[in-house]
Amino acid sequence: MTPSGWVFDILLVATLVWLAVRALAEVKLFKAVVLFIAFGLLVALAWVRLSAPDIALAEAAIGAGITGALLLDAAGHMRGRAEPYSKSPKAGRASGGDTDG
């Protein structure tokens, strides 16, 4: 392997670690999802560098593509909510009242 290949691989690994830490530490949901998608695309590039194009294609399609789209959709549904769950005592109960007898 050439020295430029080593430099590229080291930069790729450093960027992957940086993106992983940033995605996990991000407070804003939308930004965390975008960082996750970027991480998935770079993981696909890492698989290409490891001569595994089939795994790279699956990672790009499933990891970054489908999962990223689903997470963006979920983040869109969460927009405007102060809290993810309701704190009212009746939230989550089936209708019909108390069954303790």
Residue 3 covered by a domain? no
The count of structural domains within the chain is: 1
Length of the chain: 101
Give 95's pLDDT tier (boundaries 50, 70, 90).
Answer: low
pLDDT for the residue numbered 63 = 86
Number of alpha carbons in the 13 Å side-chain half-sphere of residue 53: 0
pLDDT for the residue numbered 64 = 86
Number of alpha carbons in the 13 Å side-chain half-sphere of residue 98: 3
pLDDT for 38-57, tens place per residue? 999 999 999 999 999 999 99
pLDDT for the residue numbered 16 = 97
The model's pTM is 0.74
Other CB atoms within 10 Å distance of the CB of residue 34:
17
Number of alpha carbons in the 13 Å side-chain half-sphere of residue 84: 4
Residue 62 covered by a domain? yes
Residue 73 covered by a domain? yes
pLDDT for 19-40, tens place per residue? 999 999 999 889 999 999 999 9
Residue 101 covered by a domain? no
DSSP per-residue letters across 8-61 = HHHHHHHHHHHHHHHHHH--SHHHHHHHHHHHHHHHHHHHHHTT-HHHHHHIII
Residue 17 covered by a domain? no
Residue for token digits 């769950």? 85
pLDDT for the residue numbered 80 = 72
Q: Which structural domain, as residue segments, surrounds residue 58?
A: 27-79
pLDDT, average across residues 12-19: 97
